[in-house]
Amino acid sequence: MSGPDKPQSTNRLQSRAAQSEPAQGRNDRAAWFQGSSAECSDALRPSGLPWRLVLLGAPGVGKGTQAYLLNQRLRACHLSTGDLFRAASKLGECDRSPAMQAAMDYMRRGELVPDTTVWEMVRERSACIRCAGGFVLDGFPRTLGQAELLKQLMESEKIPLSAVVNYELPLAEIVDRLSGRRTCEKCKAVYHITGQPSKVEGMCDHCGGRLFQREDDLPESIKVRMEAYERSTAPLIEFYQSQRALLTIAATGTPDEICARTISALVARAGTVAIA
């Protein structure tokens, strides 16, 4: 791609990602952050067939948390396009291509990054889609165009999609989750100001890092993100329903409860499931 994923900038993107990513097992997801030529260290490997999942749901529904838990339980790698853009946003301006610079502006406003930019990033990381360990895609695809491109890629590589998990939550709860979310700037642990507060206000329990509110969790951006979801991403529900791939899961309760519900639904659909 033309951007931070060119060789020189790619290395910077990876080292930034390594500094700022939360511990996820010990897998550094190098191939996702650096591009297909990198090798992941200590990736979890499934004991049975790999799971290849797409997570759908409005912003704030908890897809990132579920992707993390599903990675731990099903051992499929957590692939988040939002994480990629956030890692790129930490690069200096001169390390970003014009397309990536523009992508940062879209992200800051809560708008979707254009499909061409997103697809360039994902296509460059197609080894992650082919990976024998499987994947949990979080935040991609987000438009019908992206879903079609992913379908074509998977069909051409003869890779089956296991399921698309669609998380549902009432709008008022989504807005509360997003506006109260705080993230540690060092280890990326996530808190909620009322639901899951840190012991000391503004300070991470794990590493003492400063807690911050994501720019796109500010009220104006939340509104824009919800509108973008309704307009561009909600149609994917029908798209995947027509392919008989959709599983709808209530995103209420604790993260562990939601994960257990998800795995039960996957078991019911697939018959068996290898769980770590």
* Residue among 86, 96, 142, 261 flagged as catalytic: 142
Establish whether 225 is a catalytic residue.
yes
Of 31 and 112, nearer to ligand AMP (C-beta) is 112
Establish whether 181 is a catalytic residue.
yes
Q: What is the DSSP string of 174-227?
A: HHHHHHTEEEETTT--EEETTTB--SBTTB-TTT-PBEE--GGGSHHHHHHHHH
CB of 271 to ligand AMP, least distance (A): 31
Q: Within its chain, how far is the Cα of 266 from the centroid?
A: 19
**Hey, is 166 helix, strand or coil?**
strand
Of 84 and 273, nearer to ligand AMP (C-beta) is 84
Give the count of alpha carbons within 13 A of 42, CB side only: 7
CB of 214 to ligand AMP, least distance (A): 8
Binding site for ligand AMP (CB under 6 A): 59, 81-82, 85, 106-107, 110-113, 118, 139-140, 142, 146, 216, 225
* Residue among 12, 73, 177, 225 flagged as catalytic: 225
Of 88 and 259, nearer to ligand AMP (C-beta) is 88
Of 74 and 107, nearer to ligand AMP (C-beta) is 107
Rounded to a whole number, what is the largest CA-CA distance in the chain?
A: 51
Of 111 and 205, nearer to ligand AMP (C-beta) is 111
* Residue nearest ligand AMP, Cβ-based: 82
The helix (run of H) or strand (run of E) holding residue 198 is none
Establish whether 142 is a catalytic residue.
yes
* Residue among 12, 63, 177, 188 flagged as catalytic: 63
Q: What is the DSSP string of 46-83?
A: -SSSPEEEEEE--TTSSHHHHHHHHHHHH--EEEEHHH
The helix (run of H) or strand (run of E) holding residue 23 is none
Establish whether 214 is a catalytic residue.
yes
The size of the chain, in residues, is 276
- R_g (Cα) of the chain, nearest Å: 18
Q: Which residues participate in catalysis according to the annotation? A: 63, 142, 181, 214, 225
